[in-house]
Amino acid sequence: MAEIRYTKDHEYIRVEGGEGVVGISEHAQQQLGDVVFAEAPPVGKALKAGEPAAVVESVKAASDVFAPVSGEVLAVNPEIENAPGIINEDALGRGWLFRIRIADPAEIASLMDEVAYAAFVASQA
């Protein structure tokens, strides 16, 4: 089973070998409301952990999506451009934004696991 890690900005990365699948958490999509637009970074772009990588807009707000780790964008989700609502329907599954080649696996260890993320979200309420 793939390991999922979270950032304090509510991004997730699902680690699959040396790659990661990145998107926004269930909590983030609930806070945003109906997602009406999503823009992923271009394939081949080098990202640094913590820098803006993508944009998600909802009926409430526009939000930057930050790279959870450093690496190169390998692929973007072709579905989100025409059907951004899949982020609301299945944020951790079909609603992913982009795939990244993980440059430094040690960066994964600095992110929260599911238990720590749940506690973090609860502490923000």
Q: Quick: pLDDT tens for 5-60.
A: 999 999 999 999 889 999 999 999 999 999 999 999 999 999 999 999 999 999 98
Burial 83-122 (b: 16+ CB within 10 A, else e): ebbbbbeebbeebbbbbbbbbeeebeeebbeeeebeeebe
Going along the chain from its start, the domains and CATH numbers come out as: 3-89+118-124 (2.40.50.100)
If you average pLDDT over every residue of the chain, what do you get? 95
* Closest residue by Cα to residue 106 from 70, 53, 67, 59: 70
* Closest residue by Cα to residue 87 from 8, 18, 16, 12: 12
User: What is the DSSP annotation of 30-56?
Assistant: HHH-SEEEEEPPPTT-EE-TTSEEEEE
Question: Residue 1 — pLDDT band, cuts 50, 70, 90?
Answer: low
